[in-house]
């Protein structure tokens, strides 16, 4: 499973999410692909609420999203729901 993280360096929730995703990487076999909303050409439609986590299946298709500040438990639940 790949998780696409779209964030901004000016977003405090995005910075907090970094530590949460480090814990996720320690406990689950997922890949994180990161985009900076302000500097990168983001290939996904996103609104103005950051961070956005987009969960991709093994074919690279979007399975689900979490928008806004997400806890470890919310991300973990989504991984389990979709299957890591």
Model confidence at 83, pLDDT cuts 50, 70, 90, reads confident
Give residue-wise pLDDT tens across range 8-66. Answer: 999 999 999 999 999 999 999 999 999 999 999 999 999 999 999 999 999 999 999 99
- Say what the pTM is: 0.94
pLDDT at 84: 59
- Which CA distances in Å does 30 have to 25, 42, 69, 72? 6, 20, 19, 14
Nearest 5°: phi and psi at 51?
-80, 165
> What domains appear along the chain, each with residue ranges and CATH number?
2-82 (3.40.30.10)
CB contact burial 25-55 (16+ within 10 A = b; e otherwise): eeeeebeeeebbbeeeeeeeebeeebbbbbb
């Amino acid at each position: 499973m790949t998780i696409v993280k779209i964030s901004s360096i000016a977003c405090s929730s995005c910075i907090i999410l970094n530590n949460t995703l480090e814990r996720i990487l320690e406990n689950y076999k997922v890949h994180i692909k990161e985009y900076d909303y302000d500097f990168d050409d983001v290939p996904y439609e996103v609104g103005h609420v950051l961070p956005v986590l987009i969960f991709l299946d093994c074919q690279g298709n979007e399975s689900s999203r979490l928008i806004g500040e997400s806890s470890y438990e919310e991300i973990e639940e989504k991984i389990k729901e979709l299957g890591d």
